[in-house]
Amino acid sequence: MDMRAHDTPVATLADLLPGQHATITGLSGESELRTRLQSLGLRPGRRVTVVRRSRFGGPIQIRLGTSDLLIRPQQARTIFIK
């Protein structure tokens, strides 16, 4: 199989395992979601840590500085990280 046919997948917040951290590089959701994410502190340049993930595809607990948030994997996939 030709690997070049696929783009290198961009890492998103949904890919992180508990305990891992990364820096947010961009938001790709629609504008209302982006506004909400930003006012919760999820914006490019911020460091984010995944604290825990729940079972059965439930929400992810993330930590930004001193704030903890719950976010579903579906929305976490719209947040690019490096």
Partner 1 sequence: MKRVALLGMPNTGKSTFFNRLTGASAKVGNWPGITVDLLSARILLGTEMVEVVDLPGIYNLHGFAEDERVARTFLEEQPVDLLVVITNATQLDRQLALALQLQALGQPMVLLLNMIDEARTLGIHIDQQRLAQELGMPVVAISAKHGMGMEQARQAITQALHEAHPPRAADIERTFAEDSALQTRLDAIFSATVDVPVSATDRLTDRLDRLLLHPWLGLPLFFVAMLGMFEAVYTLGAPLQDGVAWMLERVKTGAVSPAVTAWPPLVQSFVLDGLFDGIGTILSFLPIIVLFFLFMAIIEDSGYMSRAAFLMDAFMSRLGLDGRAFVMQLMGFGCNVPALMGTRVMRSRGLRLLTMLIIPFSLCSARLQVFVFFTTAIFEPWAAPLVLFSLYLFSFGAAFLTAVLYRRRLAHAEPLLLELPPYRFPTLRQMWLRGWREVTHFLREASGFILFGVVLVWILTHFPKDVPVASPETLAGQLAALFEPLMQPLGIDHLMTIALLFGFVAKEVVLGALAVIYGVGESELAGIVSSRIDWVQAYSFMLFVLIYTPCLSTVAVLKQESKSWRFTALAIGWPLLLAWVVSFVFYQGARWLGL
* Residues at the contact surface with partner 1, assessed by CB under 8 A: 32-33, 35-37, 39-41, 43, 51-52, 54-59, 61, 63-72, 74-75
Query: Which residue type occupies 32?
Result: E
Collapse the DSSP code of 59 into the 3-class scheme (helix H, G, I; strand E, B; otherwise coil) and give the result. coil
33: left (phi over 0), alpha (psi -120 to 50) or beta: alpha
The SS3 assignment for 4 reads helix
- Tell me the closest approach of the beta carbon of residue 42 to partner 1, in angstroms: 9
- Residue 17: CB minimum distance to partner 1, A: 14
Strand partners, 52: 61
Smallest distance, partner 1 to C-beta of residue 26, A: 14
Residue nearer to partner 1 on the CB measure, 22 or 75: 75
